[in-house]
Structure formats: structure tokens, C-alpha cells
Amino acid sequence: MPEPVDELPITTGDDVVRVRQAVRARAGAAQLSLVDQTKLITAASELARNTLVHGGSGVARVETVERQGRRGVKAVFTDHGPGIADVEKALTDGFTTGSGLGLGLGGSRRLVDEFVLETAVGKGTTVTVIKWTR
Amino acid sequence: MITEQAEQLLELTTPVVELWEGVVAVPLIGTLDSARTQVVMEKLLQTLIDTGSEHAIIDITGVPAVDTEVAQHLLKTVVAARLMGAECTISGIRPQIAQTIVALGIEFGDIPTKATLADALLYALRNSGVEVVRRRRTGAG
Amino acid sequence: MDRVPILSLGDVLLVSIQVDLQDESVVALQEDLAERIVDSGASGVVIDISAVEIVDSFIGRMFATIASLSKVLDAETVVVGMRPAVAITLVELGLSLQGVRTALDLERGLAALRQRRAEREIPLADESDEAVEAPTAAWD
């Protein structure tokens, strides 16, 4: 029987906190190590915030997944905002002085095992991340 | 993929020792792989908190070679220790490893490195305000 | 929205973050701290994050901002109690937290602040000299 997906709206700052909590619950249930849980929740926090701040608002879908006997947690962040014009720049940006896009996508990518970014200017952005148990 | 059993075995074979009050060390032995290095590093950082130590030493005298991934993990551990408010020194870097690190273009920057574990211990002690002295004999027996 | 309480410990302000902070609370904390530093004339700020499980870029930037802010207001900041998992994640995220001093725990954080204060004090010219207190700022 397939496990349900947590679907969470992202329209306020409180929603970002709820996304963290949902990801934490799934990661704990999937028995990810403490460090891996921390990395995934932190990435989710970044992505949820992006959805809110850059995307205007959106949705997060969190679910437990399995592949070749390994369990993992998958989170998908979708918005119908402006999209990202320069993907490469967004992925290589640093946080330092807040210059540039400040999306922190590069950092988030390093925290997870799988990272897929789909975006179209004027249409929106979808980021999918997966963290597997080691 | 590491199973729980394998992880427990890793913990047993890579002990973190408290060399002195406030100084912990992990002597790494054998070939390091990315997974093992990560587990050891996490344990080292946790031990800093558990023992309230501000100094960590990673000794790699017993490590014949490191690859980019392992070197990066070592580096990240040092930076993480600093973020926590502690200092981390790497000791026992063999000439071959030093060459590998340089050849790979890895910046070891301002990470304190010491030739031997003994040097690293002395460095950590001095940083903690502890001095080691050799007493002069006060007179013929 | 939760407002993070700010406690006074001598001439040091102590902030202990216990809950999962929402972005608005983070901004409010920065503002509250700036006001309190000026009102109290505090020379140090300790941010205790030993109960914090997640530090993302927003919170990381808050530490850097508070550190800069305090400096401008003649106070030093130290962040204490960072958990290993948080430190490891911050390194991976690429947040260097430059300009933010850290210490293992509250005790060491306070000691570090004391030491810095002592270093910054200009010694009296003569033993017979009398130390004078500067008049406190009075903002209307």
C-alpha cells in the first residue's frame, strides 16, 4: 500500500516552519542518520523559503520513497512564480554579502543526494530533492 | 551503503581518545574511504561536546594515502570544529600525502598541521595555557 | 510570532534560542537586540544555540548581522553551543559565518567576552588616576 504524500501549502513564514517539521518527521521515520536529517531539513528550509520569497507562494510535497531496498525521503517544491532566468548563476551563487540571487540552490544541492531543478521564465520553478539512508 | 552493524564496527575500530583535559584525538589507521572518514569525523565533533574539549587532533600517521574525497572530509571537519568554537589540528602527514594534497590542488590554508601527534599535543596544550617543562635536577643524589 | 526573550547577565545580554524560529521572529530578534544593547549599554551578547537543530542561511545571516550590529554599538557577540550536525551542515552549505565568534558553551563564551573586554581596555596612565564613567546616552 503506497504511503501518503504530505502536501503543504507555502504561503507564509509559518508554512516554512511546517515544511521543516514535516520533513523532520519523515526523515526520522525513515531512520536517516542525525547528520543526514539535519542536512535534508536544512535544504528543505532553504527551498521552502525560495518558493515563498522568489516564487511568491507554492506547495511542498514530502514523501517516503524506496529504491533497491533503500529508504529515502523525497521533497518537491513547486511554485508558479517568475522562474529562474540564469540557472547556472543560481546554482553557483554563494551566500556571502547577499549579492546575486541569494537563492542558495548550490548549497542545498550539496546537502542532498539527488537534486533536480526544472524552471521556465514566466511559468515557475520545481525543485525535487531526495536524501537516502546511507 | 553502510549497515548499522558495519557502522558499529567502525565506531569500535576508530576510537576517539581524550589525551588531556580539553584535548581529544583520533588516530586514524589504514586506508580511509569516504564513508568511514565521515563517521569518524562526526564522532570526533560529538566528543568535543561530550568532553567539553576545545582541541581536536586528527592523526593520520597510520594512513598510507588519501584521495580528494577524504582530504575534503578532513578539511570540512576542521572548519566544522572551528564553527563550534574549537580548534582542530592534523598531524602525521606523510611526505607522499603532502604531495598528493598539493597535486590535487587542495588548499590546506590556515589549518594547523603538525608533523607528529606529540607536536600536535604540545601545540594544543600551549593553546590551553598548559606548559610542559623538564625539571632540572636539584643536586647530586 | 514568538519573540525571543533577551536576558541580562551583568553587562552581557543573553539570548537562548529554544524554538524552531520563523523568519519574522529572526528579524524581530535583531531589532530587539539592537534596542537592548543601546538601552543597557551592554558590552557583550551571547547567543546560545545549544537547543537549535537547524541553522539555515537565513538564521546564519542573522548571526552575522547581529555580530556586525553589536560591533557598531561597541559590543562583542559570541555564538555558543553549536551542535556538530549543525556545524557539519553549515560547512556543506558553504556558510562561513565570518566575523562571528563562537565558543563551545555559555561558560567559555562568557570567558571569551571577558577576555576581549580586558584586551580592549586602555590602561590608566598612573595608579593615582581615577577611572571616570562616561555619561549614559539619553535617547528621547
Chain C segment 17-56 residues within 8 A of B by beta carbon are none
Q: Inspect the interface and report whether the beta carbons of B48 and C91 lie closer than 8 Å.
A: no
Partners of B135 in beta bridges: none
pLDDT of amino acid A86: 87
Integer Cα distance of C80 and A26 in angstroms: 29
| Residue at C60 is within a domain | yes
Residue B136 near residue B73, CB atoms below 8 Å: no
Compute the nearest-CA separation of B135 from chain C (Å).
31
pLDDT of amino acid C134: 75
Question: What percentage of chain B reaches a pLDDT higher than 90?
Answer: 45
Residue A2, all three cell numbers:
503506497
| Residue at B141 is within a domain | no
In the predicted model, what is the mean pLDDT of residues B49-55? 96
Residue C52 near residue C83, CB atoms below 8 Å: yes
Residue B48 near residue B24, CB atoms below 8 Å: yes
Q: Inspect the interface and report whether the beta carbons of C88 and A95 lie closer than 8 Å.
A: no
Compute the nearest-CA separation of B38 from chain C (Å).
10
Task: Spell out which residues of chain C touch residue A17, defining contact as CB-CB under 8 Å.
Answer: 20-22
Structural domain span for residue C45: 6-119
Q: How far does Cα C40 stand from its chain's mean position?
A: 14
**A12 pLDDT band (50/70/90 cuts)?**
very high
C32 pLDDT more than 60: yes
pLDDT of amino acid B55: 97
Residue of C nearest to B53 (CA): C104
Per-residue model confidence as pLDDT tens digits over A59-116 = 999 999 999 999 999 999 999 999 998 888 888 765 443 444 466 788 999 999 999 9
| Residue at B93 is within a domain | yes
Determine the residue among C52, C88, C100 to mutate to test chain B binding: the one whose Cβ has the most chain B Cβ atoms within 10 Å. C88
Q: Which of A57-61, A81-85, B3-7, C119-123 has the lowest mean pLDDT?
A: B3-7
Q: Inspect the interface and report whether the beta carbons of B45 and C105 lie closer than 8 Å.
A: no
Look up the CATH number of the domain holding residue B99.
3.30.750.24
Q: For residue A38, give the nearest of C24, C54, C94 by CB distance.
A: C54
| Residue at C1 is within a domain | no
| Residue at C137 is within a domain | no
- C-alpha distances (whole Å) from B3 to each of A36, A115, B45 are 15, 24, 22
Residue A19, all three cell numbers:
515544511
Q: Inspect the interface and report whether the beta carbons of B1 and A35 lie closer than 8 Å.
A: no
Residue of A nearest to B34 (CA): A134
pLDDT of amino acid A98: 43
| Residue at B49 is within a domain | yes
**C127 pLDDT band (50/70/90 cuts)?**
low
Residue given cell 514530502 in the structure block? A62
pLDDT of amino acid B6: 65
**C78 pLDDT band (50/70/90 cuts)?**
very high
Look up the CATH number of the domain holding residue C76.
3.30.750.24
Structural domain span for residue B44: 19-127
- Count of domains for chain B: 1
pLDDT of amino acid C140: 52
pLDDT of amino acid A17: 95
C131 pLDDT more than 50: yes
Out of 3.30.565.10, 3.40.640.10, 3.30.70.20, 1.10.357.10, which CATH number does the structure's domain A6-132 have? 3.30.565.10
Tell me the ipTM for this assembly. 0.90
| Residue at C140 is within a domain | no
Q: Which of B110-119, C49-58, C60-69 has the lowest mean pLDDT?
A: B110-119
Please provide the average confidence, as pLDDT, over all residues in chain C: 90
The neighbours of chain C, by the rule of 3 or more Cβ pairs under 8 Å, are A, B
- Count of domains for chain C: 1
